[in-house]
Homo-oligomer: A and B are copies of this chain.
């Protein structure tokens, strides 16, 4: 999808700098969509991390994940949500972190994310309406437009926010997945607090 230059006004060009708004949903529809979620699929850079790639002389040496997302992923797994990471890049750092957290579906180096996720949902026998997707950039827009619950982290780019139902309170790398797992499990009446 490319803009038609002949029909692009200055206002169109500068729209992202006027601020983006997610598709507004009334509370009851937001909760209903969260209640229906069976698969939580997510982009990695800019969602599980703040997007920073720490480079040494031999390439990308480190990614910074967040401890709270780890706890969120454990709670999601315990509640039976299916987790799937869909990343445009490919990184051993990401494989190390997500493997440690036992994320069952890790797809890296994906050029066409909506095609990839559509295939995975087909394998799982789950409809897009039961899929929550979180992404922060233009290569996530296809998934965001199809997902039953479409989420962008605070600070995501204009096009991702415009395609989302919900913008999280936290920025990427600060516990976006954990915030979302809490929303989904609260909506499903399955959120628990560790009291011991």
Chain A residues in contact with chain B, CB under 8 A? 1-6, 8, 10-14, 16-17, 27-28, 30-31, 34, 45-46, 49, 51-68, 70-71, 88-89, 92-97, 100, 112-115, 136-139, 141-142, 145, 155, 157-159, 169, 173-175, 178, 182-183, 186-196
Contact = CB atoms under 8 A, between A and B. Distances in A.
A143 to B, nearest CB: 9
Nearest to A187: B13
Contacts of A137: 67-68, 71
A97 B3 CA distance: 30
A97 B60 CA distance: 8
Protomer copies:
4
B65 A53 contact: yes
Contacts of A5: 188-190
A138 B194 contact: yes
A68 B115 CA distance: 21
A5 to B, nearest CB: 2
B183 A13 contact: yes
A185 B70 CA distance: 34
A59 B186 contact: no
B193 A138 contact: yes
A16 B182 contact: yes
Contacts of A178: 157
Given A13-B183, A68-B157, 17 more contacts: A2-B192, A4-B189, A8-B187, A10-B27, A13-B31, A13-B34, A14-B27, A14-B183, A53-B66, A55-B64, A57-B96, A70-B89, A113-B196, A139-B194, A141-B193, A157-B175, A157-B178
